[in-house]
């Protein structure tokens, strides 16, 4: 027997109250699933209650892992790059369903070296022109070199990385030290 209920009761003008209600709804749906009374699938009436990316990720993780969210519902993940990355890993896809959302996501990836390195670990390599993003962050550059390309960057980018070593690499002493250490590890790895 399938149970149905009115999701409008979970709506609230107060965002904090709505988030708490959405968390309770996720818990309820998970329990219903465990008892065979709820079938995962695309449910826009439930997706609209997921007002922040972290809630949408919880919904997918605990209720809708096999299906993910609708193309319309996936737009919520553009608000947070890290949660979007977790969502794609959760549903085991490299791309979002909506091509417009995917283009915006890919532009975000190509601007943030840390997110780019994590995304590429799971889904593949960037183009040579896009790999220039790693010049901004030596830690992400090292991760990308070690886990994605498993070697040296193309000559142009490698030379840019070497030139970057002469710059001030961070605002704090800790950050500078971490960046320099990552650069040294990369250079030892490729030599």
Burial profile 45-78: b = 16 or more Cβ within 10 angstroms, e = fewer:
ebbebbbbbbbbbbbbeebbeeebbeeebbbbbb
- Note the helical H segments in 3-47: 15-34, 44-47
Q: Are 74 and 50 in contact (CB under 8 A)?
A: no
For residues 4-23, give the mean pLDDT. 83
Whole-angstrom distance, CA of residue 110 vs CA of residue 113: 7
Whole-angstrom distance, CA of residue 108 vs CA of residue 50: 22
**pLDDT (0 to 100) of residue 175:** 84
Q: What is the pLDDT of residues 52-102, one digit of tens each?
A: 999 999 999 999 988 899 999 999 999 999 999 999 999 999 899 999 999
Does the pLDDT at position 1 exceed 80?
A: no
Which helix (DSSP H) or strand (DSSP E) does residue 156 occupy? helix 155-164
Sign of CA dihedral 38, 44, 47, 49: negative
Whether this model's pTM surpasses 0.85: no
For residues 12-25, give the mean pLDDT. 87
Whole-angstrom distance, CA of residue 100 vs CA of residue 80: 16
Q: What is the pLDDT of residues 101-124, one digit of tens each?
A: 999 999 999 999 999 999 999 888
């Amino acid at each position: 027997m399938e149970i149905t209920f009115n999701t409008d009761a979970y709506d609230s003008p107060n965002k904090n109250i709505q988030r708490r209600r959405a968390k309770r709804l996720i818990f309820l749906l998970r329990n219903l699933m465990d008892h065979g009374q709820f079938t995962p699938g695309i449910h826009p009436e439930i997706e609209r209650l997921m007002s922040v990316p972290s809630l949408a990720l919880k919904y997918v993780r605990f209720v809708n892992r096999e299906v993910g969210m609708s193309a319309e519902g996936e737009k919520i993940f553009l608000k947070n790059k890290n949660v979007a990355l977790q969502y794609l890993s959760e549903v085991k896809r490299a791309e979002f369903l909506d091509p417009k959302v995917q283009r915006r996501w890919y532009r975000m990836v190509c601007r943030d070296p840390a997110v780019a390195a994590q995304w590429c670990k799971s889904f593949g390599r960037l183009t040579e022109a896009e790999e220039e993003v790693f010049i901004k962050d030596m830690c992400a550059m090292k991760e990308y070199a070690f886990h994605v390309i498993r070697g040296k960057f193309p000559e142009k980018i490698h030379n840019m990385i070497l030139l970057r070593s002469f710059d001030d690499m961070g605002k704090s002493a800790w950050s500078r030290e971490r960046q320099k250490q990552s650069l040294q590890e990369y250079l030892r790895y490729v030599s």
